[in-house]
Amino acid sequence: MSRAVTELDDIEWRVSDTLVPYEDALPFMEDRAASIRAGSARECVWLLEHPPLFTAGTSADPAELFNPSGFPVFEAGRGGRYTYHGPGQRVGYMMLDLDRRGRDVRRLVHSLEGWVISTLAELGVSAHRADGRIGIWVGEGSSEAKIAALGIRIKRWVTLHGFAINVSPDLSHFGGIVPCGISEFGVTSLQALGKEMPVTRVDDVLKRAFPAFIKDLSRKCKVS
């Protein structure tokens, strides 16, 4: 598996340029989180794409899984319900030490949302949070749709999992589930919004916006 590895403020920044099987990614996250907790490894952000698959969070309802294409389904161990991953979707896994960054889960989610929203803004897409609905959204009213999913697990105050931005996935694949348990809104992508670009363009913007995310995550004041 080919990866580019760099350092950013003592955080390892990994980028995979081939599809990563989920069964390889999950143990990597678990092992890295344990090593971070033990003080034997640095924090890490890993950007990748998966083959087509569904993941089930701890609140997943089997009635929300249809899966006509027979994609593999994995228990993720994160919060939330069913999520799709596949080619054309940029997944970001974060293994961050909240003992170092602050044990504030609400701030973590708020900061992560802000990182994704600012990244999309630089890519020409106005996105927003939605009260009562997890994820990042675009549009208004009946045209509102999800463009990015969020899902975090925290183990001994080290984070696992992260986010998934829809760059150019096959949106029909989302029809195999009720995405994140929300049936009344659709799913969209940068491509569907007329923003054609390689995932490497998204990676570049994510990396530029990352220091602001870390600064926001590590600040002492609370989110109001």
Residue 29, pLDDT above cutoff 80: yes
Inside any domain, residue 80: yes
Euclidean distance between the first and the last CA atom of the chain, given in angstroms as a whole number: 43
Inside any domain, residue 224: no
Inside any domain, residue 213: yes
* Closest to 109 (Cα-Cα) out of 148, 77, 139: 148
Residue 73, pLDDT above cutoff 80: yes
Q: How far apart are CA 169 and CA 86, in angstroms?
A: 7
Inside any domain, residue 176: yes
The mean pLDDT value for 133-138 works out to 94
pLDDT at 6: 64
Whether 180 is catalytic is yes
Q: What is the pTM of this model?
A: 0.93
Residue 203 in tokens: 């990676």
* Least confident among 45-54, 76-85, 199-208, 213-222: 213-222
9 Ramachandran zone, left/alpha/beta (phi>0; psi -120 to 50): left
Q: How confident is the model at residue 111 (pLDDT cuts 50, 70, 90)?
A: very high
Q: What is the pLDDT of residues 35-53, one digit of tens each?
A: 999 999 999 999 999 999 9
Inside any domain, residue 205: yes
pLDDT at 169: 98
Inside any domain, residue 70: yes
Catalytic residue among 180, 190, 199, 209: 180
Sign of CA dihedral 55, 206, 114, 165: negative
79 within 8 A of 181, measured Cβ to Cβ: no
Start-end of H helices in 97-183:
98-101, 105-122
pLDDT at 179: 81
Inside any domain, residue 104: yes
Q: What is the pLDDT of residues 157-168, one digit of tens each?
A: 999 999 999 999
Q: What is the pLDDT of residues 77-103, one digit of tens each?
A: 888 889 999 999 999 999 999 999 999
Q: How confident is the model at residue 142 (pLDDT cuts 50, 70, 90)?
A: confident
Q: How far apart are CA 55 and CA 27, in angstroms?
A: 14
Q: How far apart are CA 93 and CA 50, in angstroms?
A: 12
Residue 220, pLDDT above cutoff 60: no
Q: Of residues 123 and 142, which shows the higher confidence score?
A: 123
Sign of CA dihedral 133, 53, 64, 187: positive
51 within 8 A of 165, measured Cβ to Cβ: no
* Least confident among 155-159, 205-209, 220-224: 220-224
Range of the domain at 131: 3-218
Bridge-based pairing of strands 73-75 and 53-56 is: parallel
Inside any domain, residue 174: yes
Mean pLDDT computed over every residue of the chain: 92
CA angle 152, 172, 76 (to 5 degrees): 25
**Residues above pLDDT 70, as percent of the chain:** 95
SS3 170: coil
CATH of the domain at 193: 3.30.930.10
Query: How many separate domains does the chain show?
Result: 1
